[in-house]
Amino acid sequence: MKNIVKGVVLASMMMSCQVLALTLSEARQQGRVGETLSGFIAPIKQDKETLALVKSINEARSENYQKLADSNNISANQVAELAGQKLVERAQPGEYVRGINGQWMKK
């Protein structure tokens, strides 16, 4: 299970490096997106560029979660939740995360 989590986090970070007008790292630093416990990012700002980034990253994460789930005989939701916990924990100071109460918090 530990290897699954490491694989999910690593893959999620790698997907973050896609060549886009706005990178995930930049969006996090600018407070445009935040990590959620669901394993997916969510937009804080609702501009076109941010929404396109969120869609792209979340589609890639979803595909990756499904592949990991298939190879480990667990559900994609379980993989996503494990990844979400780790990604929220690893968010850098100044980045936003959505708590269990649904509210955005700045780390």
Return the half-sphere exposure (C-beta side, CA atoms, 13 A cut-off) of residue 51: 3
Q: How far is the CA of 105 from the CAs of 7, 9, 57, 81, 98, in angstroms?
A: 26, 21, 21, 19, 6
Q: In this predicted model, what pLDDT tens digit does every residue of 21-74 receive, in sequence order?
A: 799 999 999 999 999 999 999 999 999 999 999 999 999 999 999 999 999 999
Cα 56 versus chain centre, distance: 11
pLDDT greater than 80 at residue 18: no
- The H-or-E segment that residue 96 falls in is strand 96-98
pTM metric for this prediction: 0.79
Task: Answer yes or no: are the C-beta atoms of 60 and 18 closer than 8 Å.
Answer: yes
